[in-house]
Amino acid sequence: MEKTRAQARLVELAVAKQTGKLVPVDMVLALEQMRATELRNQIQSVPGRFAPRIVGIKQLPLAQEALRAIVNELLENLGRTGALIRDRVLQQQSAPARPVRRRRRRPHKET
């Protein structure tokens, strides 16, 4: 009885994988690593990219509005980039694996 349940579970998992409801852990980890890297890059670019927008603003509400616009721009960029990364990872996962070509070695000449 346990064997039948285990076999049924294996079939369920295979179907879930084929229909895209189950994804490999390494794919999810790769996706999240790429997203985290992009987030880090975006955050590090803030001072250089956006300082010109807020330099010289003397009124707090205007500075807050400028910063709010900057944050919204970063979030939009990250959203688009995250979708592109996800699509790239999914495409790589669904692409058929390339066959490995092995080079034939020539026999060594004895000297």
Q: The whole model's pTM is what?
A: 0.55
Which residues, 6 or more positions from 30, have their beta carbon under 8 angstroms from its beta carbon?
89
Cβ(25)–Cβ(19) below 8 Å: no
Cβ(80)–Cβ(42) below 8 Å: no
Tokens of 17: 């994988």
Q: What is the pLDDT of residue 68?
A: 92
Q: What is the pLDDT of residue 14?
A: 87
Q: What is the pLDDT of residue 103?
A: 60
Phi and psi at residue 55, in whole multiples of 5°?
Answer: -65, 135
pLDDT along the chain (111 residues), means of 10: 87 84 82 86 87 89 91 86 78 64 63 57
Which residues, 6 or more positions from 67, have their beta carbon under 8 angstroms from its beta carbon?
54
